[in-house]
Amino acid sequence: MGRPPVILCFKCDICGEQYRVLDKHKCKKQKRRMNMKGYVSHTEVTKEILDTIKVGDLIKVNDWKKPMRVKGVSENYAVMIEKQFGKLYYSVIEKKPWDGVRHNEMIGGYFHCGRDNWIFSDLNFDYKFDNVEAIARYLSTFESGETELSVRNAIPITQIHVKRAGLLAESQPIQKEQDQRR
């Protein structure tokens, strides 16, 4: 006889309802959905949702297949990275809607993410995203207006998928309790 499958349970941080990983959770208090891989999908992106992003969260924007890990958060910006084939890619989320009408991919009234507007990169930053103080200085250049998102490369955020950094750590005690019951 084999062991019965382990069913992981999670608790919604908004409404407090418990649900299983295999079930899709439709939160009663907010328009969001939990999919099978633990990502919370938001189809209506607001400043309040973007303010819940923390360091360590995994983020997918629009139809991205691979997530990016958040490395730094400030009042109006968040920076995230992803390594692919040994190369580091980064993107900055702007937590305030763009004031313009339309330019390239940027659309007025939407939140955007993309790279910075430095032509030959920021000379004071090494773009390795491994030093907390350097990341804070990098985000402060956005906050002070010294740089902004590149209008050539920024995309509007129409939906965002967030996997909390502590989601796996929270599921382990529930799994241990289920193992002890057997």
Condensed to tens digits (0 to 9), the pLDDT of residues 97-121 reads: 877 666 666 677 788 898 887 766 6
SS3 assignment, position 176: helix
Measured torsion, CA atoms of residues 34, 109, 89, 167, in degrees rounded to the nearest 10 = -20
Residue 46 has pLDDT above 70, yes or no: yes
Q: At 133, give phi and psi (nearest 5°).
A: -65, -40
Run of H or E residues at 33: strand 33-34
Measured torsion, CA atoms of residues 111, 65, 82, 37, in degrees rounded to the nearest 10 = 100
- Per-residue pLDDT tens digits for 126-146: 778 888 998 898 899 989 988
Contacting residues for 38 by C-beta, under 8 A, at least 6 apart: 10, 21, 163, 167, 168
8 A C-beta contact, residue 71 and residue 134: no
Q: For the whole prediction, is pTM greater than 0.75?
A: no
153-to-32, 54, 169, 177 alpha-carbon distances in Å: 28, 24, 35, 48
Residue 15 has pLDDT above 70, yes or no: no
Residue 47 has pLDDT above 80, yes or no: yes
CA distance 41 to 31: 9
Averaged confidence pLDDT in the chain: 76
CA distance 27 to 52: 16
44: how many CB neighbours lie within 10 A of its CB?
Answer: 11
15-to-43, 46, 174 alpha-carbon distances in Å: 18, 18, 19
Nearest CA to 114 out of 65, 75, 62, 40 is that of 62
